[in-house]
Amino acid sequence: MADVHYFAAYTDSGCLMGCDHKHATVISAVACISAAGGYVVAVEAEQPRELNYSEEREFQLAIHGEILVRRTIRLWPKAVPPVLN
């Protein structure tokens, strides 16, 4: 696997902003999110990219916990947000 790291990201006035770290895991980057609506971006071969399926699952697990992840995965690939109650 290519060298991959992650950073906590958010947008401000249309600009992609993020922490200055090179997190080894998605969960570590999630812990670094400091703004509402924050997200995690992967960097592979020095190019930012969206999270792949397993990385997205790890992100959802860190944000919502296992029960909501199972609901989200069951609904996938439909673009239906998880039920929050």
Positions in the binding site for Zn ion (CB under 5 A): 8, 19, 21, 32
Please check whether residue 32 is in contact with residue 67, taking contact to mean a CB–CB distance below 8 angstroms: no
Beta carbon nearer to Zn ion, 43 or 73: 43
In the complex, least distance from residue 61 CB atom to Zn ion, rounded to whole angstroms? 18
In the complex, least distance from residue 83 CB atom to Zn ion, rounded to whole angstroms? 30
Beta carbon nearer to Zn ion, 27 or 68: 27
Closest to 54 measured CA to CA, from 39, 69, 71: 69
Q: What is the token pair recorded at 66?
A: 């296992």
How many alpha carbons fall within 13 Å on the CB side of residue 55? 21
Beta carbon nearer to Zn ion, 58 or 72: 58
In the complex, least distance from residue 70 CB atom to Zn ion, rounded to whole angstroms? 28
R_g over Cα of the chain: 13
